[in-house]
Amino acid sequence: MTEKNTNDKNEAGADDERVVGTPTDTTEVVSEKTSAHSESEHDGPYLASETHHRPEEQQRRGEKLAALWFIIALLGGIGFLVSYFLFPPNAAGEPSIADPQIGQFSNMLLGGTLTLAMFGIGAGMTVWARNVMPHYEVASPYDELPSSEEEKSSFSEFFMKSADESGFTKRPLMRRTLIAAMLPLGLAPVVLLRDTGPLPGDQLKETRWVDGMRMYVEGTHRYLRAEDLENDPYGMISALPALDDEGYPHGISLVDQAKSVILLIKVPEEDWKPGMDEPVREGSDETHMNWTHQGIVAYSKICTHVGCPAALYERTTHRILCPCHQSTFDATDAAKVVFGPAHRALPQLPIGVDDEGYLVARGDFNEPTGPTFWEYRG
């Protein structure tokens, strides 16, 4: 906003040359027919031709209506305060908002009265602006944006003279060392972020499954046996390694849950597809079939797309579906992707039974579990 700005003069227009209260040019009065006031009485802040007064009758009605809205708002506001104290929290007695039903009532009452208070004020102000206040159509110039050539060249001359005089342009040694001095400081914030987390290393590629580890049914501490699936030839069970780490309510950290959760699926003999006879990874002697136990196969439950649990299982087709983005895997065909965006099959866990007949892992997954990442094959 420059000194040259002429808004303040022009917005008032010809008013500047006019003594307040005297008539303006007659040409400006043309649109004033609807006004309740004759031109000679106009005493507003803007030009008479730009100010369209509402008829006195409308203003009177407007005032009453606005006042009515404000009273409604006042009642709404009082209602809000009252309903706050109507529903105490749990410790303070009945009816308590800890009960979801009563909490819902409290919410409706608080919100409803707040709405009324806000709406009343808004409506009252709108009635005020539309019925009591004049309607304005004030003209005002847009600022001329580019500065004049003189101003620009004066500025540029001033700036360069000053820069020269300061020595910044003429003393390259000082200038360059100053710039050089800034560089390491610019890197500092990035370097300081280094300790936000460990380097990936092999963490993403390893899980807690080891040879002989039993499995819990997810959410319980009950060991799984092969018979648990036996009774239900099309069944599916979600399981976790049987860990009991101290310090976690589930006995297993969320990180370990996210990596090692598996789906156990029982597949009838005749449904297996040829893909099961392929090696579990390139150059391996083991096939996918070798890693099953009595028709039970174990796959990672975490989708290889972006990591949602692929938790939906269609029994009749043996398809595993991720509900997030609908990647679909065929459980009878080494969990290959049959539809959707996932990059690769679900990793498989080798399973067997121990001496006591409990299902156990016979090692770690054939591939890293979870979303596919750059170095997952390495």
Partner 1 sequence: MSKTTQAPKALRGVGNYIDDRFHLAKTGEKNLRKVFPNHWSFMLGEIALYSFIILLLSGVFLTLWFKPSMMEVVYDGSYERLQGVPMSEAFASTLHINFDVRGGLLMRQIHHWAALIFVASLVVHMLRVFFTGAFRKPREINWLIGIAIFTLAMVEGLFGYSLPDDLPSGMGVRILQGVMLALPLVGSYISMFLFGGEFPGEDIITRLYMLHILLIPALLLALIVAHFMILWHQKHTQYPGQQRTDKTVVGTPMFPAFAVKAGGFFFFTFAVTAGLSAFVQINPIHLFGPFTPTSITSGLQPDWYMGFMEGSLRIFPNTLDFTIPIGDGYPIVTAVLVPGLVIPGLIFGALALWPFIEQWITGDKRARNVADRPRNAPTRTALGVAGITFYGVLWLAGSNDVLSETFSIDLYLTTYIFRVLAIAGPIVGYIITKRICLGLQRRDRETLEHGYESGIIQQLPSGEFIEVHKESSAESTHVLKEKPALTSTALEEPETDDKGVENPDARKGMGKLRRSLAHWYTKDDVSFEGVEPFRGHHTQDEGH
Residues in region 153-212 near partner 1 by CB under 8 A? 193-194, 196-200, 203-204
By CB under 8 A, the residues from 113 to 132 that bind partner 1 are: 114-116, 118-119, 121-126, 128-129
By CB under 8 A, the residues from 308 to 337 that bind partner 1 are: 308-309, 311-312, 323-326, 337
By CB under 8 A, the residues from 69 to 108 that bind partner 1 are: 84, 87-90, 96-98, 100, 103, 106-108
Give the bridge partners for 1, in sequence order: none
Applying CB under 8 A, which of residues 24, 131, 257, 348 lies at the interface with partner 1? 257
134/319 Cα distance (integer angstroms):
70
Q: Is 52 exposed, middle or buried (0-12, 13-18, 19+ CB in 10 A)?
A: middle
Applying CB under 8 A, which of residues 136, 155, 158, 168 lies at the interface with partner 1? 136
Residue 12 binds partner 1 (CB under 8 A): yes
Which one of 42-50, 152-160, 264-272, 346-354 is the stretch in contact with partner 1 (CB under 8 A)?
42-50
Which one of 152-160, 176-184, 289-297, 299-307 is the stretch in contact with partner 1 (CB under 8 A)?
299-307
Residue 58 binds partner 1 (CB under 8 A): no
Radius of gyration, CA atoms only, the chain: 39
213/124 Cα distance (integer angstroms):
72
Residue 248 binds partner 1 (CB under 8 A): yes
Residue 1 binds partner 1 (CB under 8 A): yes
Q: Based on CB atoms, which residue is closest to partner 1, 5 or 166?
A: 5
Residue 49 binds partner 1 (CB under 8 A): no
41/22 Cα distance (integer angstroms):
8
Using CB under 8 A as the binding criterion, the count of chain residues that bind partner 1 stands at: 102
Residue 377 binds partner 1 (CB under 8 A): yes
Residue 32 binds partner 1 (CB under 8 A): no
Q: Phi first, then psi: what are they for 39, rounded to 5°?
A: -55, -40
Residue 143 binds partner 1 (CB under 8 A): yes
- Decide: 293 and 264 in contact? Cβ < 8 Å: no
Q: Based on CB atoms, which residue is closest to partner 1, 172 or 198?
A: 198
Give the pair of three-digit tokens for residue 292: 């099953």
> Is the dihedral angle over the CA atoms 115, 120, 121, 122 positive or is it negative?
positive
Residue 216 binds partner 1 (CB under 8 A): no
Query: Could you tell me the smallest distance in angstroms from the CB atom of residue 172 to partner 1?
Result: 33
Longest dimension (CA), the chain: 110
Q: Based on CB atoms, which residue is closest to partner 1, 36 or 289?
A: 36
Give the pair of three-digit tokens for residue 340: 């959707």
302/310 Cα distance (integer angstroms):
6
Query: Could you tell me the smallest distance in angstroms from the CB atom of residue 24 to partner 1?
Result: 16
- Closest-CA residue to 40 (of 56, 14, 22): 22
Give the pair of three-digit tokens for residue 70: 């404000």
> Is the dihedral angle over the CA atoms 6, 10, 15, 17 positive or is it negative?
positive
Give the pair of three-digit tokens for residue 144: 């001329």
Residue 55 binds partner 1 (CB under 8 A): no
Applying CB under 8 A, which of residues 52, 61, 250, 273 lies at the interface with partner 1? 250
